C-alpha cells in the first residue's frame, strides 16, 4: 500500500472518532437534561411521607451515622495499633536502660578511660534511637507531683523543695509518643 492511502485511512479514522465523541457528548447532555426534568417532575408529584416511611428514613439516617462513627473509630484504633505496636519491647528495654544508667554511675570511678568513653558513646546512641522512635524520659526532680506521670513511693521532709514536689527520682519514667508507658518512681516532699 502506498503512504497516501495509509494517511487517508488514518485521517478517516480520526474524523470518525471525532464524530463519535461529539455524538456521545450530545447524547450525554440530552440524557442529563432528561434526568433533571424527570427529577423535577417527581419532586412535584411526590406526596408527603407516611409515618412508617418517615420512621424508616430516620432509622436509615441513624444507621448511616453509626456506620460513619464505626469507620472513624476503627481508623483511630488502627492508627493506635501502629503507633504503640512496639510498647511491649520498649518496656523491656527500659529495664536495660536502667541497668545501663547504674553502670554509667559506677564508671566514673573506673581508671580505664577508653571503657568509659565507649560505654558513654553506646549509651548516647541508645538514647538517640529511643528518642527518634518517640520514647521520651519524663522529667521528675523538682517538678510538682503529678499522679499521671509519677508514682509516689515515699515522702520526705525537706526544706529544699515545696510540699508536693518531687525530691528524688528512684526510677525514671518514660512516654511513648505521648502515652505514659512507665511512670517515674519518686519521693515527694511533705
Read off the pLDDT of each residue in 6-35 and give the average, rounded to a whole number: 65
Cell of residue 77, nine digits: 484504633
pLDDT digits (tens, 9 = 90+) for 136-177: 999 889 899 999 999 999 998 888 888 889 999 999 999 998
Which bin fits 164, alpha (ψ -120 to 50), beta or left (φ > 0)? left
**For residues 9 and 153, which has the higher predicted lDDT (pLDDT)?**
153
Q: In the structure, what pLDDT confidence band is assigned to residue 26 with cuts at 50, 70 and 90?
A: low
Residues 6+ apart with CB under 8 A from 145: 152, 164, 165, 166, 186, 188
Architecture label for domain 87-189: Roll (2.30)
**For residues 117 and 46, which has the higher predicted lDDT (pLDDT)?**
117
| Domain extent listing, the chain | 87-189
Residues of the chain with pLDDT > 70, as a percent, come to 76
For the chain, give the mean pLDDT. Answer: 82
Helix (H, G, I), strand (E, B) or coil at 151: strand
Read off the pLDDT of each residue in 109-133 and give the average, rounded to a whole number: 88
Amino acid at each position: 500500500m502506498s503512504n497516501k492511502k495509509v494517511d487517508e485511512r488514518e485521517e478517516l479514522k480520526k474524523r470518525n472518532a471525532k464524530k463519535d465523541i461529539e455524538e456521545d457528548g450530545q447524547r450525554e447532555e440530552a440524557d442529563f437534561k432528561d434526568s433533571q426534568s424527570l427529577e423535577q417532575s417527581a419532586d412535584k408529584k411526590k406526596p408527603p411521607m407516611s409515618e412508617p416511611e418517615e420512621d424508616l428514613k430516620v432509622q436509615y439516617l441513624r444507621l448511616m451515622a453509626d456506620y460513619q462513627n464505626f469507620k472513624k473509630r476503627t481508623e483511630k484504633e488502627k492508627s493506635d495499633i501502629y503507633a504503640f505496636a512496639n510498647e511491649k519491647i520498649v518496656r523491656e528495654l527500659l529495664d536495660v536502660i536502667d541497668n545501663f544508667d547504674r553502670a554509667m554511675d559506677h564508671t566514673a570511678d573506673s581508671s580505664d578511660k577508653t571503657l568509659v568513653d565507649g560505654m558513654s558513646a553506646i549509651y548516647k546512641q541508645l538514647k538517640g534511637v529511643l528518642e527518634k522512635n518517640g520514647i521520651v524520659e519524663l522529667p521528675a526532680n523538682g517538678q510538682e507531683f503529678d499522679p499521671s506521670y509519677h508514682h509516689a513511693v515515699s515522702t520526705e521532709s525537706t526544706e529544699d523543695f515545696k510540699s508536693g514536689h518531687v525530691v528524688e527520682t528512684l526510677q525514671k519514667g518514660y512516654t511513648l509518643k505521648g502515652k505514659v508507658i512507665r511512670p517515674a518512681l519518686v519521693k515527694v516532699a511533705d
